Amino acid sequence: METLVKAWTAARQHLEAAGVDSPVIDARILLLSATGVNRMTLISEPHTPLTPEAQARLRGWLDRRAAREPVAHIVGERGFWNLILKSDARALVPRPETEVIVDLILKNAPVDRPQRVLDLGTGSGAILLALLAERPEWTGVGVDVSQEALALAADNAAMHDLGDRLTLVEGHWTDGVTGPFDVIVSNPPYIPSADIAGLDVDVRDHDPHLALDGGADGLDPYRHLFPLLPDLMTPWGLFAFEFGIGQGPDVKALADAVPGLVKTAIIKDLSDKERVLIGRRDL
């Protein structure tokens, strides 16, 4: 009889054999989602049998994962900060390192007045929704050039009852957006174009390239956006931008070259990698 614990072991072995990076965690997430069982039950009642339907579902999902489809696309959702977000091919899968932006903004934004937030390239809406969920007085605008991504962000906003505090705008970066904003955040595409072909298959074949490709050196979005920030921000407003491995010094130099942007600092993620540039508009 197929039980939770047997299915988990077999799933892990299947993913390991296929060379998947995180077979233990992936196997657990797929098993729990395919069976509808929660994590506690997996631990406390490991000999619970699987229904034939759940077994079939799990088999199909393991084959998809073995072919490198992201777990988030297979189960259709992904945890980000304290939210569960719908996740599919319409936008970049939310990543844990991006939570650094949420953490920094919550720690550094003033608490005595509601903040108006702009999220440039909002994708699934992850950063903006996490912030609005944490701060019931805040409002925000999420911009994306992809209509599909915005539809996903709208679904996510509705799912968390945040739709009335945010506006989603289709457009190229700040075109059509009216300031001022107290907070500006972004996880722009930052992979150098020539590096896209060599990315992990999970990313290369499943995340939209629009959300990955940052031009020849990956820095095009920062070059375009940093000079526009001062005019869009309130005095002493806060900004936080994610960047890729090794890009910190160049991204910081681009911000420091803009009159009106001050107090920039490079912040590391939980893997100890430089990941986010924060800064402020001057007073």
Residues that bind ligand GLN (CB under 6 A): 92, 95, 187-191, 199, 203, 212
Q: How far is the CB of 37 from ligand GLN (least distance, A)?
A: 31
Q: How far is the CB of 228 from ligand GLN (least distance, A)?
A: 19
- Cα torsion angle, 107, 235, 128, 172, sign: negative
Residue 126 or 203 having the CB closest to ligand GLN: 203
Q: How far is the CB of 63 from ligand GLN (least distance, A)?
A: 24
Q: Which residue has the tokens 């509705």?
A: 158
Question: How far is the C-alpha of 2 from the C-alpha of 4, rounded, in Å?
Answer: 7
Q: How far is the CB of 197 from ligand GLN (least distance, A)?
A: 13
Q: How far is the CB of 111 from ligand GLN (least distance, A)?
A: 29
Residue 70 or 140 having the CB closest to ligand GLN: 70
Residue 174 or 187 having the CB closest to ligand GLN: 187
Residue 179 or 188 having the CB closest to ligand GLN: 188
Q: How far is the CB of 91 from ligand GLN (least distance, A)?
A: 11
Residue 58 or 277 having the CB closest to ligand GLN: 277
Residue 126 or 133 having the CB closest to ligand GLN: 126
Query: Three-state SS string across the chain, please?
Result: CCEHHHHHHHHHHHHHHCCCCCHHHHHHHHHHHHHCCCHHHHHHCCCCECCHHHHHHHHHHHHHHHCCCCHHHHHCEEEECCEEEECCCCCCCCCHHHHHHHHHHHHHCCCCCCCEEEEECCCCCHHHHHHHHHCCCCEEEEEECCHHHHHHHHHHHHHCCCHHHEEEEECCCCCCCCCCEEEEEECCCCECHHHHHHCCHHHHCCCCHHHCECCCCCCHHHHHHHHHHHHHEEEEEEEEEECCCCCHHHHHHHHHCCCCEEEEEEEECCCCCEEEEEEEECC
Residue 203 or 238 having the CB closest to ligand GLN: 203
Q: How far is the CB of 185 from ligand GLN (least distance, A)?
A: 12
Alpha carbon of residue 135 to chain centroid: 19
